[in-house]
Amino acid sequence: MPKTTTMKVKKNEVKKMVGAYGNTPVRDGEGRKGGVVKQIIGAVVRKDPRVIRDEDRLVTDLHLSSLDRADLLSRLEQEFRLDLPEDMVGRDTTVGELIKIIEERKR
């Protein structure tokens, strides 16, 4: 989430992000979970979810900071109603691996 220097959420920017990405359908071979995961990642990293690939690494390719990673995990936990320990998602985790982790934990 975009934040001010005092760590408050920039609500106007969030509204723009949601308007730009919130209703964007994501078509991929992973089905509903993969599309939702990519939409959530896109919202966190402020990137169009259609350009996020399964091979992209969260930190290296998508430039996810530690705060962004915590935000991402929180959103995924809320969306899929599961618990994702932070140690399961590391620096070299790819988007595809994250989708597999969620699918395995959801069962």
Closest CA to 88 of 100, 75, 78, 71: 100
> 32 near 103, Cβ under 8 Å?
no
Q: What is the pLDDT of residue 30?
A: 45
CA nearest neighbour of 42 among 11, 60, 63, 12:
63
Average pLDDT over residues 74-95: 90
DSSP single-letter state for residue 8:
-
What is the average per-residue pLDDT within 14-19?
A: 68
Residues above pLDDT 90, as percent of the chain: 50
Model pLDDT for residues 33-65, shown as the tens digit of each residue: 788 999 999 999 999 999 999 999 999 999 999
Q: Which residue has the higher pLDDT, 17 or 100?
A: 100
- pTM assigned to the model: 0.69
Interhelix angle 31-45/95-106, rounded to 10 degrees, is: 130
